[in-house]
Amino acid sequence: MDSSHPTLHAVFCDIDGTITGPDRRLNLQAVETIRTLVDNDIQVVLASGNTICSLYMLARMIGTEGAVIAENGGVYKRYHRDEITVLGNHNRCLEGYKRLEHHFASQGIDLIPFSNEYRYSDVAFARNVDPDEVRHLLSDMEDLTVLDSDFALHIVSKGITKGTALLSLAPKLGLKPKEILAVGDSENDYDLLLNAGIGVAVANGAERLGNVADYITEKKYGDGFSEAVRKYFPSLF
């Protein structure tokens, strides 16, 4: 986060809750906003806890050049045809997940995995168990962290975030972090906003994001995303 208002050349944005509505449907105004950015040579990077394959398809459909950050920063790709870069330790995350499976099964609770066969770095599962209990059960595995995206729980390698992926990916896109506008809504977007030149939280965002956001939008969800982009790229609209 940089209060000097640097010249911006890219937008890194979360998906669920940021360019969608509360129903997780894509906000069409946000899609049009992204296309306006791309058509004016502003790079757009989608950053999510979702799998790389789902982000690849979404980037194609929206019309970006394909740079994406997946699995909460554990995986990223520079362009559509590039190989993926993996930053996290998937096998270690699976060890933690197996421990949770065993514990909750003894209580008659089945964990509901989210596409872990398509994940390379983290492990994701439904929020049908208490996040604090999950963190307690894995507290001795000090190389792991549990993230709550509001849509799922994720076991990730410690030190891996969307923000660290931003720092790793930016130079490969010819960008400096200070040239990036980051927009998000969830706890797992904290480091994304922190490490960008300007960080924006949409109005429905987690309260903690207010600690690092340069601006909090008046509008919620995808409408808030479009508000943020129009504020910082006024000449395009």
Q: Which positions are annotated as active-site residues?
A: 14
Rounded to whole angstroms, what are the CA distances from 210 to 82, 151, 153, 187, 214? 35, 20, 22, 11, 8
User: Distance between CA 31 and CA 42 in Å, rounded?
Assistant: 14
Q: Which two tokens stand for residue 76?
A: 């990223």
- Contact between residue 6 and residue 214 where contact means Cβ atoms under 8 Å apart: no
User: CB-based burial of residue 92 (10 Å sphere; 0-12 exposed, 13-18 middle, 19+ buried)?
Assistant: middle
- Contact between residue 146 and residue 154 where contact means Cβ atoms under 8 Å apart: yes
Phi-psi region of 7 (alpha: psi -120 to 50; beta: other; left: phi over 0): beta
Rounded to whole angstroms, what are the CA distances from 169 to 2, 46, 62, 129, 218? 19, 12, 20, 33, 30
φ and ψ of 66, to 5 deg = 110, 0
- Contact between residue 138 and residue 144 where contact means Cβ atoms under 8 Å apart: yes
